[in-house]
Structure formats: structure tokens, C-alpha cells
Amino acid sequence: MIPRIEWPELELSLSKLAFGCAPVMGRIGKRQALDAMAMAFERGVTHFDVARAYGFGEAERVLGRFVADKRSQVTIATKFGIQPAQLGQAARLLKPAVRVARQLVPALAGAVKKTSGAMLTKGYYSLADAQRSVETSLRELGVDVIDILFVHECAAADELSPELLDFFCRLKQQGKIKTWGVATAAREVGPVSRQLGAVPPVMQCPFESRALAAGFAGRRILHSPISMIGRLRDPSGHLPASVIAWADGEGLRGTALEQRLPILALQAAAAAAPDAVILCSMFQSKNVMNNTAAFQDMDVSRALGFGRACEIAGITAQGV
Ligand SMILES: NC(=O)c1ccc[n+]([C@@H]2O[C@H](COP(=O)([O-])OP(=O)(O)OC[C@H]3O[C@@H](n4cnc5c(N)ncnc54)[C@H](OP(=O)(O)O)[C@@H]3O)[C@@H](O)[C@H]2O)c1
């Protein structure tokens, strides 16, 4: 089974490996999303991360459908602050066709992702925006309580109001959230905490050494460890010398190394932050199987060795 992370002061028990729902109802349709969630859950993944903005505002409803008969066995984090992209009726009908086109012509994926990203509108952090968003999230998820409510991609420049802190306290008293946090780049956590007037109980940041090193008193969720591999490569796609040297020492070369990289990245994140939850997206069955297996059977010193090799290349220290 997947190891558990216990945060007793927050009354939360989470699976060490968490399931990210960012692609749900965008790149991934409802059926595939529900199948992948079920497969991950069967293998011990019980923490699910979503946001009001994901999937053109439709991802929460899909996750809600999945958790409906297992609410007490799972934890859910959602976020406010980014408005979902609005799709007209015609674009909505075209979504499944775009998904098929992406699969047939992988080169389209980047362009589609860029266009969907550009359709999101950030900066909805006022008290009224937060209130509206949380009520919508509760309704769409079909739950009474959100385990972690995150402020989504907030930055110092957003000048968050301290009245949000009172709002989080009220939500806790009303039993609508268990706790709150900020889901943003590690470098923004300090300035944003000062604006809010409190250290967030949870921070959710990309896996990078800044997130590991930050003197942070709360709990951590580290996301996108697999995407880190893309940042390891030079413009020609080559891996850094320190990673190749480490892999040589492990007898890993060529295709064997390439195939192993996602699992190594996941395990490096898990080993570097033993008390953190590691969050990734995994919708292909083989990825769900490999990732869950990676958390059941981990060579910690090997994982730390890979992490060090990446850091020597200056990559995990790179801001995102
Ligand atoms: N501000 C925030 O809080 C924030 C920001 C970004 C992301 N997130 C969260 O973090 C989650 C993960 O982010 P991400 O998708 O950017 O990064 P990621 O989890 O590092 O990468 C996901 C990609 O890796 C693939 N993959 C998964 N396991 C694999 C394996 N064993 N071998 C090869 N490929 C594998 C997935 O493919 P398939 O899906 O096709 O299987 C997907 O394309 C999001 O869903 C979201 O919940 C939060």
C-alpha cells in the first residue's frame, strides 16, 4: 500500500502519493478520468487535488461523482483565485474531437495547452470572489467539507487582504473546510503569508529545492515532480552530465534510463521530503500502476542519489 502522511494537528491523514486532476475535462475526458481515479484509489491513493479553474470549471463535478460513495475514505483539496475558462456551446461540443486530434497528432498538445492556459483569468482573490468560489466548489463536488482550501497561484503582487484569514476561520467554524493553504511558487509563500498575516497551515509548491529549503513551519504538498524532467534537459533534449554520470554508476543508459526517469523523479521527490505529500497527474493505466508501485517499493538512497545529481545540474534549484 501507499505510505500515509499524518497531519494530526489538521486532523488529516493523506496518502503520500496524491492524484492531480488538472487535466480532467480538458486533455482527459470523464470516462478516462473516473477509471484512472478508481485505479489509483484501489492502489491506495486517497488524496485528490482539483481547482475551481480545472477542466473549464467541470473537473470538480467529475471528482465529486467519483468520491460520492467513498467520501470518508478520501481527502480533497480545491482552490480559488483563478476563473475557469468560459467555453461557448460550440467549443464545448468540439472538446472530445480536440482530445482525439491531440492523440493522433501529439504535436498539437503544446498549442492546445497554451491556448487553454491563456483562456484562464487570474486574480480573483477578493473576499466576495472567494465566497462565491467556495460555495460553487462545495456544490460541484457535492461535499459538505473541503479538506484543504488553497489560494490558487497567488503572488505578492496580488495584495491579498487579511480579511481572507477571517474568512478561512469562519469556514472552519462552519465545518466547510478542514484547513487552508497557498498553492503557488515557493518564492511567493513568504510575501503572501505576510499579507494574510499568518503562516498557511499547508503550502503546495512545485518540486524544487526552494520548496524543500524554505524555512516553512506548515505542511507541504509538492507537485509536478515528473514535469521536472523537462527542465533538466538542454535545448537539444540532452540530460545534464551529472545525471548521466549518476545513471552510468547505476548501469542505466539510453532507453532504459529514459523509461526510468519519471519514476526516479517521483521517488526523488518522495525521498527528499519524507513528511510531504507528492502530487502528480496519471491518467494512463500503465502510469497509475508504475507510480503506485514506485511508492510501495522504493530504494531511498538511490532516489536521493538521483535527486542530488539533478541538483548538481542546478535544476531543482531553478524557480518555476
Ligand atoms: N498551483 C498549483 O497548486 C498546481 C500547479 C500545477 C499543478 N498542480 C497539480 O499537480 C498535478 C500534477 O501536475 P503536472 O501534471 O503538471 O505534473 P506531473 O504530475 O509531474 O506530470 C504529469 C505528466 O506525467 C505523465 N506521467 C505520469 N506518470 C508517468 C510515468 N510513470 N511515466 C511517464 N509519464 C508519466 C502524465 O501522463 P498521463 O496523465 O497521460 O498518465 C502527465 O502527462 C496537477 O494535476 C495539479 O493537480 C497544482
Q: Which domains does the chain have, with CATH numbers?
A: 4-85+120-312 (3.20.20.100)
pLDDT over 70, % of the chain: 86
Residue of the nearest CA to atom 14 in ligand 1? 224
In terms of pLDDT, which residue wins out, 297 or 25?
25
Give yes or no for residue 259 having a pLDDT over 60: yes
Q: Are 82 and 120 in contact (CB under 8 A)?
A: yes
Where is average pLDDT lowest: 3-7, 177-181, 244-248, 314-318? 314-318
Nearest atom of ligand 1 to the alpha carbon of 291: 31
Q: What is the whole-number distance in angstroms between the Cα of residue 13 and the centre of ligand 1? A: 22
Residue 188, ligand 1, Cβ within 6 A: no
**What predicted TM-score, i.e. pTM, was given to this entire model?**
0.92
> How would residue 89 be classed by pLDDT, with cut points 50, 70 and 90?
low
Question: What are the strands, taking DSSP E only, across the chain?
Answer: 4-7, 12-15, 17-20, 47-49, 75-80, 82-83, 121-122, 146-152, 177-183, 202-206, 219-223, 277-280
Name the pairing type of β-strands 277-280 and 17-20. parallel
- Give residue 98's pLDDT: 66
> How would residue 217 be classed by pLDDT, with cut points 50, 70 and 90?
confident
Type and span of the H or E element at 140: helix 127-141
Residue 208, ligand 1, Cβ within 6 A: no
Where is average pLDDT lowest: 14-18, 138-142, 207-211, 251-255? 207-211
Type and span of the H or E element at 229: helix 228-232
Nearest atom of ligand 1 to the alpha carbon of 266: 20
> How would residue 107 be classed by pLDDT, with cut points 50, 70 and 90?
low
Q: Are 9 and 38 in contact (CB under 8 A)?
A: no
Residue of the nearest CA to atom 8 in ligand 1? 223
> How would residue 102 be classed by pLDDT, with cut points 50, 70 and 90?
low
Q: How far is CA 193 from the centre of its chain?
A: 20
For residues 99-132, b (16+ Cβ closer than 10 Å) or e, as one string?
beebeeeeeeeeeeeeebeeebeeebbeeeebee
Give yes or no for residue 319 having a pLDDT over 50: no
Residue 263, ligand 1, Cβ within 6 A: yes
Residue 78, ligand 1, Cβ within 6 A: no
